[in-house]
Amino acid sequence: MLSGVGRNDSDAWEHFYSRYKVLVFMRGRRYGFSDAEIDDLLSRVMMKFFQVKPGKVHPIFSYDATKGRFRDYFCRIVNNVAIDMLRKRQSLGEVSMVTDENKEVDLPDESGVDAAQREYDLARLDLAFQQIKSELPVRQIQAFIEVRMKGVSAKEICKLQGTSLATVYNDITAVTEALKNALQRMPEE
């Protein structure tokens, strides 16, 4: 994918953007950014990777592999851009470092790899879920969402769907297996 983006391949770019915008969104939420600020964060982050080089007309994707794994490098860039935005916002006196819920925004230290890894894993899981949704029956997806994601009891779902309890559990297992398979097929960056 990264080499395709480097070649200015539009499919690779779409794949890159759809995968990594989720990470930027989650990190922006962690910093307490509004939707508009997250859009700005996303734009600034992408601009860090796509720069116009001297003598070139189109932006070129730049990533230095000596700086580590791409996802770690990407998360560092997102953190740095977010922190710059918070510092600028604070220096302009626009708003405090407190979110709407009166929670203070914590600026993570650079060792926040665990949080970055969790966000990366969640982004991959979301992408895998989006892929399998069209491949599986709606009944299975509904059972999985209701029971595993929303916490509705399996008994309620079997009543709602008019199926047996065993069918609901089998459906959940089928979605779980499909997610595992989709994640295994997905390349690591």
CB 78 within 8 A of CB 45: yes
Q: Which of 54-58, 72-76, 96-100, 181-185 has the lowest mean pLDDT?
A: 96-100
Tell me, what's the pLDDT at 167?
Answer: 84
Residue 182 near residue 174 (C-beta atoms within 8 A): no
> What local confidence, expressed as pLDDT, does residue 95 receive?
45
Residue 49 token pair? 């990777």
The whole-number average pLDDT for the span 120-147 is 87
Q: 73-79 — which CB contacts under 8 Å span 24+ positions? A: 74/20, 74/23, 74/45, 74/189, 75/23, 75/27, 75/113, 75/116, 75/119, 75/120, 76/110, 77/45, 77/48, 77/49, 78/23, 78/24, 78/27, 78/41, 78/45, 79/27, 79/108, 79/110, 79/112, 79/116
pLDDT digits (tens, 9 = 90+) for 95-107: 444 444 555 555 5
* Domain edges within the chain: 2-108
What is the tens place of the pLDDT at every residue in 2-27?
Answer: 555 555 556 666 777 777 788 888 88
